[in-house]
Amino acid sequence: MSYETALKIVDVVNDIHQKKYLLPSIQREFVWNDHQIKQLFDSLMRDYPIGAFLFWVVSGEKVQDFQFYEFLREYHERDNRHSPKANTSGEEEITAILDGQQRLTALYIALRGSYAHKLPRKRWDNDLAYPKQMLYLNILHPSNESDLEYDFDFLTEEEAAVRDAEHFWFQVNDILDMRELSDVNEFLFNTVNEYLVQQGFYGKDKMGFANRSMSKLYSTIHIEKAISYYLEKTTELDKVLNIFIRVNSGGTQLSYSDLLLSIATTQWDDKDAREEITQFVSEINGIGSGFRFTKDFVLKTCLVLSDLPDIAFKVDNFNKTNMLLIERNWEQIETAIRLAVILVSSFGYSRENLPSHHALIPIAYYLQTLGLPRNFHNSALYLEDRKRIKQWLIRSLLKKVFGGISDNYLNQIRLIIHSAPEGNFPLNELIQRFRVAGRTSITFNDEDIENIMSYKYGQSYTFSALSLLYPSLDFTHKFHTDHIYPKSAFTISQLRKRGTPTEKIEEYTSCYNYLPNLQILSQTENMEKQNIDFDIWLNQVCKTNEDYIAFQKLHLIPKMDLGFENFLEFFDRREELMFTRFKELLG
């Protein structure tokens, strides 16, 4: 390994664009956030060291022995997070990045691409939640963030167009077109200076800061040799893997699954493990209302569904023999996981309310033993089986048996499922087997049910508890968790306006978010209800006495005056009704 002459950022970014630098398949995905990218550029502008890079030269005769990927350019948090596969046919030599992928990708995205991450408080499936943004530098004022000197930010074109006495946003990738320092000076004089004079913002301090910022940005990209690197020329894959793992032990840590997937990539014969698994994770995360499954989940499920005796998540279990077995079974494993995700999605679960991914592993295993029926989630033939699976899933989630899940527990479930009569999910056997098995028990006593009653609005376990009470709802349609008495009424000011006794206000505000004040409504019903008082809304939707009785029965509404002033009595009485119903369902 040799230390080479440092390179200019402009040259490296252009070479990445021309695909002269590629990523080996052992590299993970781009994981930096926007603040890390801003910190990188701030460090460069302040002449802080950004660490050495490690490049790996692969000679022509060895190029086809490995898989390589291009750098990610147009990052989209939901739709484009994976690097495209590179076409290396006919290449005489490849330069791959062993250390520095995150930093180089950050430079490439900022100087040649775009960055689209989800806006806060926007839904994951909302296309408008991911506006295309470019990196900009405010050349009139330093950053207000304590850890940054220069005010870099990712902005949309509309946001960057807003200028005032403190903000003039320069699109950072435009610096690539400024080949000479005179181009920078021309921009400062003809554009920035003219703007400041026209707006009456002109001042030597502002022009001075703009001049320093632009000159430093130009120097950083075009003049300074900021990319210091070592060059490795070995063709021994074991050595490359060891170097890769060593040099990636700092910075943004690789997850264990990234390392395992790196190894798996080199051991599959016909398929590309990285491409198959990363694309599959994206696919299942797009099912229904969306999920947050990871490569860890898929790799773990591969071990279980391949009936390997040792399913521990460790390097030894991803040996050549096991990985070839998983490769042979991949399409079957892929289908089983997909069907399991479709099924739990039909139960109403999503990224927002599924607290454990491992709970799906036994379901996927059962569907595999059943022969992978593609219509399992909606066929009348499997109705009773679906009910048993849903009951087991809800019990398991509410008892949190998959928190810190042991491999022994998964192995025991696998044995019970394997021994069950065909076409019959072994709910009763699972309940009985783990009745007295401590933390893996899925039986419920009064204390367990009291714990359920303590769940609140917004908690992932709340949906599981509520969905038990609505066995007839078709959750393939959109439903919302709704406050029966609207939460907008429980601010201190609103309670005082309603004449709530002062000594009762704290009691009102402390309990309105809990289960007894929650119900499940269709999306349409919830949007229509909004902030209307419950008794008024109920009279609007229940046109007849039969409608009222049916609603009361479905939602466990106590027979009483439902005026807001009686909320505390309603809360206590519905809590009793719910406790009794949970006891019937889970006892």
Closest of 9, 6, 3 to residue 228, by C-alpha: 6
**What does the pLDDT read at residue 378?**
94
Above 70 in pLDDT, residue 71?
A: yes
| Strands annotated E in 421-516 | 479-483
Closest of 324, 348, 340 to residue 462, by C-alpha: 348
What share of the chain in percent tops pLDDT 70? 94
Q: Among 150-159, 231-240, 382-391, name the one with the lowest average pLDDT.
A: 231-240
**What does the pLDDT read at residue 252?**
52
Q: Among 162-176, 227-241, 472-486, name the one with the lowest average pLDDT.
A: 227-241
What share of the chain in percent tops pLDDT 90? 67
**What does the pLDDT read at residue 191?**
92
Give the mean model confidence (pLDDT) for residues 166-195.
93
- Whether the CA torsion 528, 533, 534, 539 is positive or negative: it is negative
Structure confidence at residue 256 as a pLDDT band (50, 70, 90):
low
Are 296 and 257 within 8 A, CB to CB? yes
For 481, the token pair is: 């968790």
Are 5 and 37 within 8 A, CB to CB? no
Mind giving me the DSSP string for 365-393?
HHHHHTT--TTTTT-GGGHHHHHHHHHHH
Q: Among 198-202, 240-244, 273-277, name the one with the lowest average pLDDT.
A: 240-244
**What does the pLDDT read at residue 253?**
52
**What does the pLDDT read at residue 1?**
67
Distances in Å between the Cα of 64 and the Cα atoms of 174, 235, 245, 577 are: 37, 12, 22, 67
433-465 CB burial, b ≥16 within 10 A, e <16: bbeeeeebbbebeeebbeebeebeeebbbbbbb
**What does the pLDDT read at residue 435?**
77
Above 60 in pLDDT, residue 250?
A: no
Helix axes 360-369, 330-346, angle to 10 degrees: 120
**What does the pLDDT read at residue 183?**
94
Greatest mean pLDDT range, 5-14, 78-87, 434-443 = 5-14
For 9, the token pair is: 């950022």
Q: Measure CA 576 to chain center.
A: 38
Condensed to tens digits (0 to 9), the pLDDT of residues 162-179 reads 999 899 999 999 999 999
Give the mean model confidence (pLDDT) for residues 283-305.
94
Give the mean model confidence (pLDDT) for residues 271-293.
91
Residue showing tokens 């927002």: 352
Condensed to tens digits (0 to 9), the pLDDT of residues 347-399 reads 999 999 999 999 999 999 999 999 999 999 999 999 999 999 999 999 999 99
Beta-carbon count within 10 A of 386 CB: 18
Which residues are CB-contacts of 139 (< 8 A; sequence separation ≥ 6)?
168, 169, 170, 192, 209, 210, 213, 214
Structure confidence at residue 474 as a pLDDT band (50, 70, 90):
confident
Helix axes 256-267, 237-247, angle to 10 degrees: 170
**What does the pLDDT read at residue 437?**
59
Structure confidence at residue 497 as a pLDDT band (50, 70, 90):
very high
The amino acid that residue 87 corresponds to is N
Give the mean model confidence (pLDDT) for residues 146-175.
94
Tell me the C-alpha distance between 185 and 225, whole Å: 22
**What does the pLDDT read at residue 275?**
83
Burial (0-12, 13-18, 19+ Cβ within 10 Å), 47:
exposed
Burial (0-12, 13-18, 19+ Cβ within 10 Å), 168:
buried
**What does the pLDDT read at residue 303?**
94
The amino acid that residue 513 corresponds to is N
Structure confidence at residue 81 as a pLDDT band (50, 70, 90):
confident
Q: Among 113-117, 241-245, 397-401, name the one with the lowest average pLDDT.
A: 241-245
Degrees (nearest 5) of the Cα angle 433, 326, 284? 75
**Overall size of the chain counted in residues:** 587
**What does the pLDDT read at residue 436?**
64
Structure confidence at residue 85 as a pLDDT band (50, 70, 90):
confident
Higher pLDDT, 154 or 257: 154
In terms of phi and psi (left: phi > 0; alpha: psi -120 to 50; beta: otherwise), the region of 403 is: beta
**What does the pLDDT read at residue 290?**
94
| Strands annotated E in 211-271 | 229-232
Above 70 in pLDDT, residue 190?
A: yes
Structure confidence at residue 320 as a pLDDT band (50, 70, 90):
confident
For 345, the token pair is: 């999605």
**What does the pLDDT read at residue 265?**
63
Condensed to tens digits (0 to 9), the pLDDT of residues 500-545 reads 999 999 999 999 999 999 999 988 888 888 889 999 999 999 999 9
**What does the pLDDT read at residue 236?**
72
Closest of 387, 391, 379, 276 to residue 337, by C-alpha: 276
